[in-house]
Amino acid sequence: MRRRSLLAVFFFVVLLPACSWQSTHTPPPALHDAAIATAHPLATQAGVQILQQGGNAFDAAVAVTAVLAVVEPYSSGLGGGGFWLLHKARDNTQVMIDGREKAPLAAHRDMYLDADGEVIPRASVDGPLSAGIPGVPAAMAHLARHYGRLPLKQSLQPAITLARNGFAVDEHYRRMAQFRQSVLQNWEDGEAIFLQDGEVPDVGYIIRQPDLANTLEQIANQGADGFYKGEIAGKLVRSVRENGGIWTLQDLAQYSIVERLPLQFSYNGMRVTSVTPPSSGGVALAQIFNMLALGNYDKLNAVDKKHLLIEAMRRAYRDRAEYLGDSDVVDVPVIELASMAHARQLLANLDMQRATPSADLPPVAVDKLDGPDTTHFSIVDKQGNRVAATLSINYPFGSCFVAEGTGVLLNDEMDDFSSKPGSPNVYGLVGAEANAIAPGKRMLSSMSPSFAEYNNRIAVLGTPGGSRIITMVLLGLLQFYDGADATTIVNAPRMHHQYLPDKVFYEPGALPPERIAALQQKGHVLQQLDSTYGNMQVVVMDRNTGRLNAASDKRGVGSAQVLTVE
């Protein structure tokens, strides 16, 4: 667990002979088409519009990010953060834009504990004390300036128009608003914007956000400074502090995104590019795929495949709880964790006949996992540039607090830290230290925007879903590996294990009764969920033909479009 390994930004976990990398270096064919899949039709439309105006995938990503901030306020926003994974066709390179929120400088390890050391209920979830310093405005400005072709002002225009003119409430909005109604009612601005006379708005009710339109205009005119300095910054800090938060002007002025080289690994010839810490996604995916490779997953029967998947998920999530955090602040042994040698150790006690109880693994405290509401979009342009972006404000409607006069709904991403690190668990062991709160630190995430390349096809994918994001992306990657198209990938049934609780959760209908019985016989505890989960957005490119297909998860209200761009 050496510091040196953390400073290296390029992690390459090679599982295969060098010849299998060949396709990666073949330039993609000229594409006639571009494709976009997002969680909201208005965001897809904005991305299409920007591509048709001569923008590239990165300009479209700015437009989509900003429109999602307006029309999906329950999932992401200017007051939130995220990860944008980019592939630049020109030089065939990838980079990760880390726009994750940071803890305010006045934050401290025990800030959500009472005098007795107990976690104060809801303190890290509701209101401005739960908000990290946002990264979305800085990331949009960075994308436009360093990767886009169009002025930021042009890419933000669809969002400004939608914020000013409004968008219509749908059933999904209503469900999200209902979930957070009582908290939205706590603060005037949020209640006035997102509810209708204090109630969940009717379908068709128009949500107008003139203050947010003004804030977007400040960013359009001044870049990131329009948010992090000057008038908007002053309003944000004043409002946060008047309502019990701890932000300062220095927090905003000091915020910066980080460009990181992504984590890359291979599974039987499929090359996967995903995110590094402060997301746990890439590391956990690499670990799970390593274990599948060692267990000869491809050759197993259907029941044993599920058994090995569950056992690999269990072990990767245990490691996540122990080792993962912000690698700029704590030592995260990324290379060791993602190595085949480590996977071998993890599988040392694997029994293909019996489930390994999580209690039999070296114990580690898990206090909670990432909040559930987030969004994802995938874009490929006709040059072959790609964006996979997963963005979040954590809980639906984040903290439910809108800073007065800004229209900016703040995240409650501070809840993604461990509120009570170092407290011994029932076994007397201390866990979750790596993800303890510290000033200026980024909280651990599960967001896993990813690319995959296999058999001359490329996938761009990701999904929201809190702690289940990683296993959804895993299942999506396995579908892609099997040759599935975008629609099959997004709609495939889902199951999940996260070490604790020691249960396999599955969507209604995801497992046939005979498979459930066979897994139970091996000692697994299975629980069918009341509803489906996730909202995956995928674009798949066939490098032989240059053709694209795109799909938006049937579980959500999003849309996907393949378009011909002149």
Binding site for ligand GLY (CB under 6 A): 370-371, 374, 392, 394, 413, 416, 445-447, 466
Helices 57-71 and 136-146 sit at what angle, rounded to 10 degrees?
160
CA distance 497 to 14: 26
CB atoms within 10 A of CB 14: 13
Cis peptide before 104 (omega within 30 of 0): no
User: What is the phi/psi pair of residue 168, to 5°?
Assistant: -90, 135
User: What is the phi/psi pair of residue 218, to 5°?
Assistant: -60, -40
CB nearer to ligand GLY: pick between 394 and 479? 394
CA distance 521 to 323: 32
Residue position matching structure tokens 């910054």: 233
User: In angstroms, what CA-CA distances link 539 with 15, 61, 267, 275, 559?
Assistant: 26, 14, 20, 18, 12
CA distance 38 to 558: 6
CB nearer to ligand GLY: pick between 124 and 181? 124
User: 425 and 365 in contact (C-beta within 8 Å)?
Assistant: yes
CB nearer to ligand GLY: pick between 370 and 381? 370
Q: Ramachandran region of residue 274, left (φ > 0), alpha (ψ -120 to 50) or beta?
A: beta
- Give me the least distance between CB of 125 and ligand GLY, in Å please: 11
User: 376 and 463 in contact (C-beta within 8 Å)?
Assistant: yes
CB nearer to ligand GLY: pick between 50 and 447? 447
Taken as a whole, the chain contains a residue count of 566
CB atoms within 10 A of CB 30: 9
Please calculate the CA angle 340-342-346 and round it to the nearest 5 degrees: 115
CB nearer to ligand GLY: pick between 374 and 406? 374
CB nearer to ligand GLY: pick between 251 and 373? 373
Catalytic, out of 38, 44, 374, 390: 374
Residue 374 annotated as catalytic: yes
Instruction: Enter the tokens of residue 417.
Output: 């830290």
CB nearer to ligand GLY: pick between 435 and 445? 445
- Give me the least distance between CB of 463 and ligand GLY, in Å please: 11
Helices (H), 8-127: 41-52, 57-71
- Give me the least distance between CB of 85 and ligand GLY, in Å please: 14
- Give me the least distance between CB of 142 and ligand GLY, in Å please: 19
Cis peptide before 501 (omega within 30 of 0): yes
Contacts of 338 (CB under 8 A, 6+ apart): 11, 13, 263, 265, 282, 283, 286, 287, 290
Annotated catalytic sites, by residue?
374
